[in-house]
Amino acid sequence: MKVRKEVLWVTVVMCALGAVSCNSTKKSATKKSSSDSRFIEGMVISRAALSSNVANTGSMKIKNFTPASSNVENAALWQFKYAQLLDVRVETVLNTELFRFVEDWWGTPYVYGGKNKNGVDCSGFANSLLNTVFKVSSGGSSAQLYDKSKKVNNGQMREGDLVFFKTNGTSVSHVGVYLVNDKFVHASTSSGVMISDLNESYWKKYYVGGGRVE
């Protein structure tokens, strides 16, 4: 009987220790590190890495990496990152200039009338992106951009087109720049420069259509 009590006691202690251990593991697993990437956990990209075409192998160039390429291992880290954000195949993410621009402006706070990285509004950001990345001379408010753009239906949308919204319910009051797969980058009033999806209920509700400034 004494032996059985000792065995039972050891078993209880072991279970208790096990429960504490599992609980600690769970907490540590859910705790986020302060060094997490702004976009995807564990994926940190330096400006130098994004500015070059060096693949994540550290030595291989991606100049021969095309949508038809089967050498996915030659892709750069930033390509994997934005492929996940846009939910597309890695080999289709090729516009270094565009994603360098998005990376540099990401999180810039919304400021009405703003045009720089201290604060920018939706039209200021869209015009700056078009001018810098696509070399399109563009200017004006979201409503003015809508008026002068060539209207494009969703099936014809391409990288660099504009997407317009009537967030105030009456006239065009917000603009973003189309990327791919219904994703667009814009300066939102709540989170600053970010990537959103046209299929999100909020944007779908206020979406007016696409346009192209040439």
Name, in order, each residue with C-beta under 8 angstroms of 180's C-beta and a sequence gap of 6 or more.
Answer: 86, 88, 92, 159
**Distance between CA 183 and CA 176 in Å, rounded?**
10
What's the sign of the alpha-carbon dihedral 25, 29, 31, 34?
A: positive
Q: Which of 174, 176, 195, 210 is catalytic?
A: 174
Instruction: Tokens 């993410």: give the residue.
Output: 93
State yes or no: is 181 an active-site residue: no
Q: Which of 45, 134, 186, 210 is catalytic?
A: 186
Phi, psi at residue 80, to the nearest 5°? -65, -40
State yes or no: is 174 an active-site residue: yes
Q: Which of 50, 93, 102, 122 is catalytic?
A: 122
Phi, psi at residue 127, to the nearest 5°? -65, -40
**Distance between CA 82 and CA 34 in Å, rounded?**
21
State yes or no: is 15 an active-site residue: no
Q: Give the catalytic positions in this structure.
A: 122, 174, 186
